[in-house]
Chain A
């Protein structure tokens, strides 16, 4: 291993990580800044975190974002799972290629276009822009991501599990809820988390489709930054980063543990 720690390697790692994380580190550091000036260090303080919780506008936006995220991720997970099931199970229906193309197109569609077209639709059908429209828009945005995640799990799903269940007397509906769903549940959960994260950080589509009283956190932050960055925003972003980081770390540690446990179990089983 020693030989690989050449000066060149160390330099590359430092540069790479600096490029990725320096902005975020700066943001976190300045969220603890005493001074009101964002770029001048005035000593350590947590006062911006305190004032953050008294900023009614930011707190409202956070609440809206959380609700939009949970509802849209849940609905998108149901729809995306259904789409993935259809795409992997019924491989021969007419228009399958068209259908799968249409399900996955939003993945690469520029968000501006998605946002604009949704806005036009909502205006055309006379839907007042607000909480409902943002939620609908986010369902549209995130559903295809869920479909991709669940579909990749379904492709490796052993169909004989379902056949075995039916062979043992379970109707197709029971088979789905007792066998298929529990087995693909991890993929559905990660699909949900992906959808929730996407909804959480979407600015473009939310700006197009939101209305009064339904300002999401990214929209709020963006509008405040236009009036000048305050350390309060830094604090809000730091909390956001912490929440996401903790989530990711918990998920990957749990995953790693499961994997290790599984390997140990399998080795033990082979030994008898």
Chain B
């Protein structure tokens, strides 16, 4: 079986035409005065999915989350949760809970009281509240901090309290606004896996907003890439990385080399692209664009091989000069200036400790790649 990247084999409702959508954004537009934060956006999220909204700051991703929570109403369009139109339902009557970027812990209440706050509003009985709070404290491993106030906790502990508080009511959907933004790198990586475990164990639907692509790739089942209030692509992390559908997505997620060119020749199996700078590239035929059309060939740096001699059997091999080398430990990144002037970034895993025949600055070098190593983009 062939696939793009790793997969969660038993979970892919987005490929099932009969699957019932859980959260639906239906042609949603949100305007703030003259500014359009969200522009006629449609999106479907499934039950128990870990869904990420990824985009630069100001792209409208937080507005989407706030509309789901009820802090903003769409200017037009509708949002459905489990088939119910959410319009006009205030935040305090929606079966969703949110974890805030600033955590928004109540400073005058202890950890315990913070977690119990939502349960009290629900009118839960005192013994039940006590039980649930204890359970939540166990879940986030903060049992011995129950009586502390938020300012007596470290950043990581506060984050856990915020998390416990937002899942205490067992919401249908948990919204997370940059949940790990305030943590340092090590802690962030640990917490990413904890969040994934938590989501699996509780069986909740998570919608997370983030600007950190690595975070989104690590945690999410699917990612929606948002730009200027519009969805650019919704796909699994592997699809987003290996099969971006636009230049924007290819650029936004990871590093990429772009070859501008025109379709020169199409055969049954392959397409030949005439690069704007003279290079000829042959790719597997997945292009339904007529000859002569402007296109872009996008290829990730690790899919490009670099060698000091011309590879014998490579379909695509381009010659140039090593311009820069960055040694990163686990891999080495080469910047090669092709003879037609284009810069190419190629990265090599340092699988062995000792490199035979290492390349150096200003060496002549060949970059080569397979016909199926990249994608052709038309927009």
Q: Footprint of B on A, CB under 8 Å?
A: 158, 160-161, 163-171, 174, 178-179, 182-183, 262, 265-266, 268-270, 272
Please tell me if the beta carbons of A269 and B153 are within 8 angstroms of each other in the complex: yes
Residues of chain A lying within 8 A (CB to CB) of residue B101: 160
Beyond contacts A160-B100, A166-B91, A167-B69: 17 other A-B pairs, Cβ-Cβ < 8 A, are: A161-B106, A163-B98, A163-B100, A164-B106, A165-B106, A166-B90, A167-B97, A167-B166, A168-B97, A168-B121, A168-B165, A169-B92, A169-B93, A170-B121, A178-B117, A262-B151, A272-B154
Interface status of B169 (Cβ within 8 A of chain A): yes
Counting chain A CB atoms within 10 Å of each CB, which of B101, B104, B122, B169 scores highest? B104
Q: How far is the CB of B276 from chain A (nearest CB, A)?
A: 49
- Tell me the count of chain B residues lying within 8 A, CB to CB, of chain A: 31
Contacts A163-B71, A166-B92: A269 and B118 contacting too (C-beta < 8 A)?
no
Q: How far is the CB of A23 from chain B (nearest CB, A)?
A: 43
Q: How far is the CB of B293 from chain A (nearest CB, A)?
A: 49
Distance between Cα atoms of A29 and B125 in the complex (Å): 64
Contacts A266-B151, A272-B154: A168 and B107 contacting too (C-beta < 8 A)?
no
Residues of chain A lying within 8 A (CB to CB) of residue B166: 167-168
Please tell me if the beta carbons of A265 and B152 are within 8 angstroms of each other in the complex: yes
Please tell me if the beta carbons of B91 and A167 are within 8 angstroms of each other in the complex: yes
Residues of chain A lying within 8 A (CB to CB) of residue B185: none
Residues of chain B lying within 8 A (CB to CB) of residue A272: 154
Interface status of B199 (Cβ within 8 A of chain A): no
Contacts A168-B97, A269-B154, A270-B154: A163 and B104 contacting too (C-beta < 8 A)?
yes
Q: Mark B139-175, 1 if CB is under 8 A from A, else 0.
A: 0000000001101111001000000011001000000
Please tell me if the beta carbons of B121 and A160 are within 8 angstroms of each other in the complex: no
Distance between Cα atoms of A160 and B106 in the complex (Å): 10
Please tell me if the beta carbons of B104 and A164 are within 8 angstroms of each other in the complex: yes
User: Which residue of B has the minimal Cβ distance to A271?
Assistant: B154
Q: Footprint of A on B, CB under 8 Å?
A: 69-71, 90-93, 96-98, 100-102, 104, 106-108, 117-118, 121-122, 148-149, 151-154, 157, 165-166, 169
- Choice from B70, B71, B108, B118 contacting A168 with Cβ under 8 Å: B118
Please tell me if the beta carbons of A269 and B152 are within 8 angstroms of each other in the complex: yes
Q: How far is the CB of B106 from chain A (nearest CB, A)?
A: 6
Please tell me if the beta carbons of B151 and A168 are within 8 angstroms of each other in the complex: no
- Choice from A158, A161, A174 contacting B121 with Cβ under 8 Å: A174
User: Which residue of B has the minimal Cβ distance to A179?
Assistant: B106
- Choice from B100, B148, B153, B154 contacting A164 with Cβ under 8 Å: B100
Distance between Cα atoms of A269 and B142 in the complex (Å): 13
Please tell me if the beta carbons of B169 and A158 are within 8 angstroms of each other in the complex: no
Q: How far is the CB of A270 from chain B (nearest CB, A)?
A: 6
Q: Is the interface of A mostly helix, strand, loop or mixed?
A: helix
Please tell me if the beta carbons of B92 and A171 are within 8 angstroms of each other in the complex: yes
21 contacts between A and B (CB under 8 A): A160-B102, A163-B100, A164-B98, A164-B106, A165-B117, A166-B91, A166-B92, A167-B70, A167-B96, A167-B97, A168-B92, A168-B121, A169-B92, A169-B93, A169-B169, A170-B117, A178-B117, A262-B151, A265-B149, A266-B152, A269-B154
Q: How far is the CB of A264 from chain B (nearest CB, A)?
A: 9
Residues of chain B lying within 8 A (CB to CB) of residue A158: 102, 104
Q: How far is the CB of A200 from chain B (nearest CB, A)?
A: 30
Q: How far is the CB of A93 from chain B (nearest CB, A)?
A: 15
Residues of chain A lying within 8 A (CB to CB) of residue B102: 158, 160
User: Which residue of B has the minimal Cβ distance to A182?
Assistant: B108
Residues of chain B lying within 8 A (CB to CB) of residue A160: 100-102, 104
Q: How far is the CB of B71 from chain A (nearest CB, A)?
A: 6
Residues of chain A lying within 8 A (CB to CB) of residue B69: 163, 167
Residues of chain A lying within 8 A (CB to CB) of residue B154: 269-270, 272
Distance between Cα atoms of A168 and B107 in the complex (Å): 16
- Choice from A161, A262, A269, A270 contacting B104 with Cβ under 8 Å: A161
Please tell me if the beta carbons of B106 and A167 are within 8 angstroms of each other in the complex: no
Residues of chain B lying within 8 A (CB to CB) of residue A163: 69, 71, 91, 98, 100, 104
Q: How far is the CB of B53 from chain A (nearest CB, A)?
A: 18
Contacts A163-B71, A183-B107, A183-B108: A169 and B121 contacting too (C-beta < 8 A)?
yes
User: Which residue of B has the minimal Cβ distance to A162?
Assistant: B104
The 8 closest A-B pairs by CB, nearest first: A168-B118, A169-B121, A164-B104, A160-B104, A265-B152, A166-B91, A182-B108, A160-B100
Distance between Cα atoms of A200 and B100 in the complex (Å): 45
Q: How far is the CB of A124 from chain B (nearest CB, A)?
A: 45
Distance between Cα atoms of A145 and B93 in the complex (Å): 38
Q: How far is the CB of A188 from chain B (nearest CB, A)?
A: 13
Distance between Cα atoms of A158 and B121 in the complex (Å): 21
